[in-house]
């Protein structure tokens, strides 16, 4: 669902490889392993397996969208039972026709559901204390950085006084530390770009990108992070986007063997196991 105040002009630039746009997740994928990027976005190779954390994160987002929808409509928040029902529906839909789900050691669908229940309750309680006004949810923006087409999908855009909050909800095994926050600054830069039109349309004065991190475990914690973004950060992101676009356009997709290979959905094909 998206509530846009102003239309976004189309961005028509494309890469010679056929990739129509970049996003923060695509850029991160390319940085982690160009070969994985090639299999997923260029060759569109079917995944051999999917780590459970991937569908879990997507399904969790679908469930908490009921909370943001209720806030947007001015309704009371849905019950935990309602959120779990949506989780169950989305999990079944996500995993029934896709590649096999690879669970971590000691993990299965039942234990993940129990984890989800605790996390959903924590997020619901957090949302009850929020004082901001929801302006848009699942808001998609298209723009260009360094001449490269970018697509960003914002979990929610909220008004808090004269500030426009750009919120991205994340699930994590543990709290974000300084290193993890620094790794994510590029995303805050791109998401700030994505909210510029809404800022102007609403007459807000400042864009405040933030992460709402919901941790897994016995006692989930909701961590709110508003990392400061400076001009140096914006310049680094422009260079990052330009470098990734140049390499993708040149067809440079070397394999980057690392610990990530154990969870890669294309490991068998890439490493010659089949």
pLDDT tens, residue by residue, 90-135? 999 999 988 999 999 999 999 999 999 999 999 999 999 999 999 9
CA 262 from chain centre, in angstroms, equals 22
Q: What is the pLDDT of residue 230?
A: 85
Q: Buried (b) or exposed (e) across 8-46, using 16+ Cβ within 10 A?
A: eeebeeebeeebebbebebbbbbeebbbbbbbbbeeeee
Given this model, what pLDDT does residue 1 score?
37
Both tokens of 71, joined, read 């806030």
Bridge pairing between strands 163-172 and 206-215: parallel
**Residues paired with residue 159 on neighbouring β-strands, in sequence order:** 133, 164
Mean pLDDT for the stretch of residues 219-241 = 93
pLDDT tops 80 at residue 30: yes
| Mean pLDDT in residue range 83-89 | 98
User: In the chain, what is the greatest distance between 2 CA atoms, to the nearest angstrom?
Assistant: 57
In this predicted structure, what is the pLDDT of residue 199? 93
Q: pLDDT of 31-82, one tens digit each?
A: 999 999 999 999 999 999 999 999 999 999 999 999 999 999 999 999 999 9
Domains of the chain with CATH codes = 24-249 (3.40.1350.10)
For 183-213, the pLDDT digits (tens) are: 898 999 999 999 999 999 999 999 999 999 9
Q: CA 258 to CA 254: how far, in whole Å?
A: 13
Q: What is the pLDDT of residue 19?
A: 66
Examine the pLDDT at 5 and tell me if it is beyond 90.
no
**Geometric angle at alpha carbon 210, from 53 and 199, rounded to 5°:** 130
Q: Where are the alpha helices (DSSP H) in the chain?
A: 24-32, 34-37, 53-73, 80-96, 109-128, 178-183, 185-194, 196-202, 231-249, 267-271
User: Which pLDDT belongs to residue 97?
Assistant: 83
pLDDT for 229: 84
**Among all chains, which residue has been given the structure tokens 């459970």?**
52
**For 224, how many CA atoms within 13 A lie in the half-sphere containing its CB?**
11
Lowest mean pLDDT among 1-5, 112-116, 226-230: 1-5
pLDDT of 2 reads 36
The proportion of the chain whose per-residue pLDDT surpasses 70, expressed as a percent, equals 92
Closest of 200, 106, 214 to residue 155, by C-alpha: 214
In the predicted model, what is the mean pLDDT of the chain?
Answer: 90
Q: How far is CA 105 from CA 102, 162, 176, 179, 248, in A?
A: 9, 47, 23, 26, 35
**Tell me, what's the pLDDT at 7?**
34
**What are the φ/ψ torsions at residue 64 (nearest 5 degrees)?**
-75, -15
- Whole-prediction pTM value? 0.88
- For residue 6, what pLDDT is reported? 32
pLDDT at residue 31, as a whole number: 93
């Amino acid at each position: 669902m998206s509530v846009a105040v102003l239309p976004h002009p189309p961005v028509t630039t494309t890469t010679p490889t056929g990739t129509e746009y970049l996003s923060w997740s695509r850029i991160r994928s390319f940085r982690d392993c160009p070969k994985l990027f090639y299999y997923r976005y260029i060759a569109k190779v079917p995944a051999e397996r999917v780590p459970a954390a991937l569908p879990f994160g997507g399904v969790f987002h679908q469930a908490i969208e009921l909370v943001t929808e209720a806030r947007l409509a001015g309704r009371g928040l849905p019950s935990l039972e309602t959120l779990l029902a949506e989780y169950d529906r989305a999990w079944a839909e996500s995993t029934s026709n896709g590649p096999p789900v690879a669970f971590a050691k000691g993990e299965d669908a039942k234990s993940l559901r129990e984890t989800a229940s605790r996390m959903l309750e924590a997020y619901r309680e957090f949302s009850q204390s929020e004082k901001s006004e929801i302006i848009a949810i699942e808001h998609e923006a298209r723009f260009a950085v360094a001449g490269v087409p970018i697509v960003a999908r914002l979990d929610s855009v909220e008004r808090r006084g004269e500030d426009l909050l750009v919120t991205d909800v994340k699930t994590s095994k543990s709290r974000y530390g300084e290193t993890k926050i620094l790794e994510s600054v590029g995303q805050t830069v791109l998401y700030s770009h994505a909210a510029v039109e809404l800022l102007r349309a609403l007459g807000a004065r400042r864009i405040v990108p933030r992460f709402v991190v919901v941790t897994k475990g016995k006692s989930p914690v909701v961590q709110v992070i508003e990392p400061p973004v400076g001009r140096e950060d914006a310049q680094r992101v422009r260079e990052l986007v330009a470098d990734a676009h140049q390499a993708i356009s040149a067809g440079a997709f070397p394999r980057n063997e690392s610990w990530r290979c154990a969870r890669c959905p294309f490991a068998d094909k890439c490493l010659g196991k089949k």
